[in-house]
Structures are given as structure tokens and as C-alpha cells.
Structure 1
Amino acid sequence: MTQSALIEFLSSTFDGFHVHVDSERERADIVLDRPPFNIIAMTQRDALRQVFEALDAHDDVRVIVLRSEGEHFSSGGDIKGFLEASPEHVSKLAWNVAAPARCEKPVIVANRGYTFGVGFELSLACDFRIASETTRYALPEQNLGQIPGSGGSARLQKIIGITRTKHMVMRAKRISGATALDWGIATECVADVELENATQALVDELRGFSPLAQRTAKKLINDNEDAPLSVAIEMEGHCYSRLRSSADFREGVEAFHGKRKAVFHGE
């Protein structure tokens, strides 16, 4: 898809969310806006995947932010939609929700209020989770006689371990943003009024690094999550070696010795 086609697609009207690209700040926002609880419809999941992929290919975007309008991030999915969806559609849910993890660019999610079900699963697929003190994370599917179906329990177990995952999944327990920070789920936990400031600060921080080094680090860390230590170290060495020949690395070294701020171009 050409850049003009990407821009036209991203300016479309989407069901349950909208997209805003700020080229000057190199930031793109995907904003859930189905008040009051930002319920995520079945068809919306596929549209969200397409938008993440489009923003990943957008030349003016360095960092993607997923956030919401209103006091809640999302209370979860459209329950009735699960009964109406075809088995083929349901089989694609985890792939759609994993779109933030597949993006080469950094993805930040800003959570506040209810962050339940697929809202939590989408958040877990992002690279950085900034939680407001009002945030309540939960995977409540046991209340419906079901389990998380889009990677929720699997991703959560990687982060917090089997005991705490059973507490949240098998008992459908909610935890606060502060607890999520303590458990390693959230990157930061801030006052609700500071959520946007904290998000923009992280965007600006990430923009200061080499896009090439950022892409390499994200893929390396994701790919090595299940790798044996020896394999992970080997892959890290290969990536390190490849980056040594990049223009960004040369710029970084020259800026360090010249006592100036590096200007990276992703090459």
C-alpha cells in the first residue's frame, strides 16, 4: 500500500475507534471511543489489526499509542458477538489481538478504569503499559463459563508466573494499576490526570533512540522469549554485529565522543 493509500485508509471512519496521526510528534493514536465502556465488537478486532499494520508502514510514525476516550479503557468484548461469530472468525481472534506485538515500532497503551477481557489482552500485547491509579485489570471470562481466548492467560503467565495468573484467571480477580506495577504488568502507574503527560513523555523518550536499534531490540526480545539462554545469547550477538555496521551506530559513537545529542535516521 502506498503512503497516500495508507493516509486515506487511516482517515476512514472505524466502528468503535478512531485514528489520529501527529506527524510533527511522530506519534499515532488509536483511540477506543464506544462510550461509556468502549466495548470491542468482533469486527472491530480485525479493523484494529489492519490499522496497526497500516501505522507500522506509515513513514511519519515512530511510536504508536493505544488509548481510550472516557473513564474506562475497555470493559471487554461484545458478549453476544461470541455466540454469533463463526468458528473461522473466532479462530482469528488471537492473531488480531497480537497485532501490537507484531508491529516493528514501539507500541504504548494508556490504561484507565476498566481494562477487562480483550481490553486487557490488547494491552498485554503492547510493549509498554502505562496505568492510571484508576485502572482495574481483569480477565473475567470464568464468569461466563469461558477462558481468555486471545492470548490473555498465556501472555500474563509469561509476565507474572503461574500462581498469580491462576489467581486472576481461575478466580476472575481484578487488580489495581498499583498492583499491576508491583507485579511487573505495568511499566508505570500514575495519577489519572497525569496519564497523557506520562504517555507523551515516553513517546518523546523512545523517539530519541535509533529507529533501527528499537526495531531490532523489540524483535530480538520477542523472538527470544521462549529460546534457551544459549540461543538467546547467540541471537543477541548476531543482532549486535549487524547494528555495528549501521549509520545510526556510527552517529551514536560520534555524538558520544563529540559530547552532542545523536540524530538518528533509522539506517
Structure 2
Amino acid sequence: MPLTGGEIRLERSHEGRVANLTLDHGRYNIITMETRRVMAERFAEIDADKNVQVVVIRAAGEHFTSGGDIAGFLEVDPVDLTDLGQDITAPSRSPKPVIVAIDGYCFGVGLELALSADIRIATDRSRFALPEMKLGMIPGSGGTQRLARLIGLSRAKFHILTGKRITGQQALDWGLTSHNCADAEELEKTVDKVVTVLLGYSPIALRTAKEVLDRGVDAPLYTGIELERKAYSMLRASEDFAEGVAAFGEKRVPKFVGR
């Protein structure tokens, strides 16, 4: 029988400039089909809010998520699966930097959610896996493509074909995560530090950097460089760039406005 529910709490902090999303569905935070829908709805609201500059995704409970609701998945008509992943991977399309704080299990669609974000910060006890092969299936929400691009084709093939888990230290060493924290307390402190850094930068520069990186990484080098040059020229005319230069010369903290 499929699971119901899929609460994703949305709370704002830092005077509304940070949107905090919290997965809250029991100890293992199993992701239901409803969770997918709610994730897309939350990001639609966040992306439309010009005051939000940074997004952080966390999870209540002992684990980030053990993966999806298999029973619920089986009730979906196969023809409807062609668009699978357009909801849970909303972070990849958001113009705002998205940070994921991971503690414990990060499996299946949960890992695909994390892979669609920009910065992944985890703990030493975190474990990552795409175990769909054990069900006679493959990842269906971007897992095969994003994991291969992050940790390399050889490693991705091994871990997807075998379903073997990736440890917290391996994730850090291979570039899957940016930090490997000792525990949940250190995880939150590290996330707060990164958020503080991002809030100090120009929103338009952050948005542009994310777009150039995402669109250019799979293009030929000359195409990526051309994209970078055009984006650089566009930012050269921004108010934030003028403010940044002025603040640098006056030895003060810049006041960016996102224009």
C-alpha cells in the first residue's frame, strides 16, 4: 500500500533571505509521490520570491532519506514516468544557490535530490547510494547522469551497477560533497558559515555563476568560455559590480542589491 504524506516545511530566516526546506516524514524520511509534488511547489514559491537569496534543504529525524516509496511508485502509470524527476530535481532549475545538509542515509531518489543541488555538505556517518539495481531498475531522476559527472564514469558505473554505498569520506574525496563534518552539530555550523558567505555576495553574480557552470560544463570548451565572456560582460554593466568596485576602493563591506 502506498505511503501518504510528504511534508516539506518551508521556513524563512536571515530576514527572509534564506529559505529553509525540511523533509519531515518519519525516521527515514521516505519520499512519496506527494513529496515530489510538494518539492516542486515549494521551489515555485521560493523562485518567485525576490527576497530569497539562498536555499537550504535539511531533514528532520535520524536520516536525510532512505529513498522513495516503492509501493507508491508501482501505482504510477508507466506513461507518466517519462517526466519523472522534473519535480524532485527542482533545485537544479532554481536560479538561487541551493545547499543540502546531509546526515545519515542519502539513498535513491534522496541522493538524486541532493545531486540536483549546488552544494552538498555531509557528516562522517552519511552514506550515499543508488540501490535501484537491487529492484531490477535504474535511477530515474537524473542519478546516472549527475553522479557520473561528479565522481567520474568509472566510479559511477561501479556504484550504480553494484548498489554499493559511498561513505562520507569517499564522498568528500571524490567531490560529491564539499565538507565532511564530524556530527550533526558541526554540520549545522558549517552550513551556517556557507550561508553567511553567500549572503554577502551579489545575488545576480551568484545566479549568473550557477547558470554559466551548469550550462557550460557539458559544452565544448570554446562554447563554455564564450558563455562565460558574455555573462562577464553583462555583469560589468550591473549596479552590483559598480558597488563592489566602489566598496573595494573605499575598504568597506559592499551593499549588493541584485541589479
Q: Which amino acid aligns with 1:54?
A: E
* TM superposition shift of 1:50: 1.6
The counterpart of 1:115, out of the listed 73, 94, 106, is: 106
Aligned to 1:169: 160
The counterpart of 2:211, out of the listed 216, 219, 229, is: 219
Structure 1 residues 30-109: aligned runs within 5 Å: 30-109=21-100
* TM superposition shift of 1:225: 1.8
Aligned to 1:260: 252
SS of residue in 2 equivalent to 1:94: coil
Q: Which deviates the most, 80-89 or 113-122? A: 80-89
Give the Cα–Cα distance (whole angstroms) in 2 for the partners of residues 170 and 33 of structure 1: 30
Q: Does residue 26 in structure 1 map to residue 35 in structure 2?
A: no
Is the contact made by 1:111 and 1:130 (CA closer than 8 Å) also made in structure 2?
Answer: yes
The counterpart of 1:152, out of the listed 143, 148, 169, is: 143
* TM superposition shift of 1:62: 1.1
Give per-residue Cα distances to partners, 1:160-215, cap 9 Å, x unaligned: 11110011100001011111000000011111121111111111110111001001
Q: Does residue 242 in structure 1 map to residue 234 in structure 2?
A: yes
CA shift in 2, pair 1:88/1:200, >3 Å = farther
Is the contact made by 2:106 and 2:126 (CA closer than 8 Å) also made in structure 1?
Answer: yes
SS of residue in 2 equivalent to 1:263: coil
Is the contact made by 1:76 and 1:115 (CA closer than 8 Å) also made in structure 2?
Answer: yes
Aligned to 1:11: none
* TM superposition shift of 1:224: 0.7
Give per-residue Cα distances to partners, 1:110-133, cap 9 Å, x unaligned: 001010000000000000000111
SS of residue in 2 equivalent to 1:96: coil
Aligned to 1:129: 120
Is the contact made by 2:8 and 2:38 (CA closer than 8 Å) also made in structure 1?
Answer: no
Aligned to 1:7: none
Is the contact made by 1:23 and 1:60 (CA closer than 8 Å) also made in structure 2?
Answer: no
Give the Cα–Cα distance (whole angstroms) in 2 for the partners of residues 215 and 178 of structure 1: 29
Structure 1 residues 4-15: aligned runs within 5 Å: 15=6
* TM superposition shift of 1:263: 0.9
* TM superposition shift of 1:25: 5.8
Q: Which runs of 5+ in 2 are unaligned?
A: none
- Give me the CA root mean square deviation: 1.2
SS of residue in 2 equivalent to 1:237: helix
Q: Which deviates the most, 91-100 or 171-180? A: 91-100
Give the Cα–Cα distance (whole angstroms) in 1 for the partners of residues 243 and 132 of structure 2: 50
Aligned to 1:196: 188
Q: Which amino acid aligns with 2:119?
A: F
SS of residue in 1 equivalent to 2:87: helix
Give the Cα–Cα distance (whole angstroms) in 1 for the partners of residues 159 and 6 of structure 2: 30
SS of residue in 1 equivalent to 2:121: strand
Q: Which deviates the most, 56-65 or 235-244? A: 56-65
* TM superposition shift of 1:24: 1.5
Is the contact made by 2:100 and 2:114 (CA closer than 8 Å) also made in structure 1?
Answer: yes
Aligned to 2:202: 210
SS of residue in 1 equivalent to 2:226: helix
